[in-house]
Amino acid sequence: MTENELRETLKTKKPIAFKRDGTFRVLFFSDIHCFLDGGDMRSLDAMEKMIEEKSPDLVLWAGDGPAGAKTRDDLIKLIKVFSLPMESRGIPWAVTNGNHASAACRDLSLEEIEDVFEKCFDFCVTKHVEGIHGNTNYVLPVYSTKDPSRIALNVFSLDTGNDMSDIDGVRIVRGRICSDVIKRALPVGVTAHNYDIIRFDQLAWYWDVSSSVEKINGKTPAIMFTHCCPHEAKIIRDNPEETKMVGNFTEGIRTGPLNSGVFATVVERGDVIGFYFGHNHNNTAEGTYCGIRMGYVGSVGYEGYGVSGHTDAEKNKYRGARLLSFKEDDILNYSSEYLYSSDYVKHYNS
């Protein structure tokens, strides 16, 4: 990657930096799955109150956001409602695609939906890289408060896509191959679907950017966020004591049938200190494996599925979001907190 290419890659619509007191907070929302007309607006209420209380410096949507728009104008109106907690406060925010990204507006392509995010909101810092798979691959540099020219932390988004049953015209995982062969090979509690994977060109792009930043900035700590988890999430689930797991695995790990190698890639590159993801609404677990914290960010959307239960409070027991709090002088030892929506909005029959 040339110096000019790196400079373009690191550009953001709004500057992102540690505060003067040397702190920086990242708040994750995922699986909002909310429709504007007649929807359960507790999703938005919880987001608003969490932001008001925690005052994040960056908000990240980890896929499957608001849905149901029919036109581009409808989509703008829909996103405007759910982005108001950030836009009204001038908080930078960004999105990575989930497997339901196209549900945001069925009449628009993923490229057109991404264009709305990039161009129609003042504080949305989502970007994309041309020429590789996915529409939400980017890096957001967070600059030092002590030296404004130095990157203190990088935030990488990698697009986990939707359906990998067709790669470049070749059907690879449909039918009995997926259902009968691959599923038998997976560990207990891991459910294989036709979900896409992070492709090699995306991994190569991440490696190139990370290496290029290191040349001018030194080894720079990073966090990465995706929608679907890497296969290695099962290591946390199966080894709770060794990985110092907190939180829970209330549902199986839902992932694609092939391991993309993303976790092995970030381990070898050595800059990622935290890897976070959504998709499984009822999982809130976080643990450490190979020196990398890895965990779910929850589901804040009350119209998505929840756990089994007879009451609203039971169904929505694990609704929430995740907050990461960094200190510039000790970035590696950041704190991570799961925020339960029930502490911010009312659950019925509770």
Say yes or no to pLDDT of 168 above 90: no
Residue 226: which pLDDT band, with cuts at 50, 70 and 90? Answer: very high
For position 14, which CATH number holds?
A: 3.60.21.10
Residue 281: which pLDDT band, with cuts at 50, 70 and 90? Answer: very high
Domain assignment present for 167: no
Domain assignment present for 118: yes
**Number of structural domains found in the chain:** 1
pLDDT greater at residue 194 or residue 214: 214
Helix (H) or strand (E) holding 238: helix 233-238
Q: Are 277 and 62 in contact, with CB atoms under 8 Å apart? A: yes
Domain assignment present for 185: no
Domain assignment present for 190: no
Q: Which domain holds residue 77?
A: 3-161+196-343
pLDDT at 125: 98
Give pTM, 2 decimals: 0.94
* φ, ψ at 52 (rounded to 5°): -60, -40
Domain assignment present for 171: no
Domain assignment present for 170: no
Q: Are 280 and 309 in contact, with CB atoms under 8 Å apart? A: no
Instruction: Give the pLDDT mean for 80-101.
Output: 96
Instruction: Give the pLDDT mean for 163-170.
Output: 59
At residue 41's C-alpha, the angle toward residues 35 and 47, to 5°, is: 105
pLDDT at 196: 84
Domain assignment present for 11: yes
Say yes or no to pLDDT of 91 above 60: yes
At residue 56's C-alpha, the angle toward residues 143 and 137, to 5°, is: 60
Say yes or no to pLDDT of 130 above 70: yes
CA-closest candidate to residue 94, choices 139, 54, 133 = 139
Domain assignment present for 138: yes
pLDDT at 184: 60
pLDDT at 350: 58
**Which range is least confidently modeled, 133-137, 149-153, 175-179?**
175-179
The angle, 0 to 180 degrees and rounded to 10, between the axes of the packed helices 42-54 and 72-87 is 30
Q: What's the token pair of residue 30? A: 């995922």
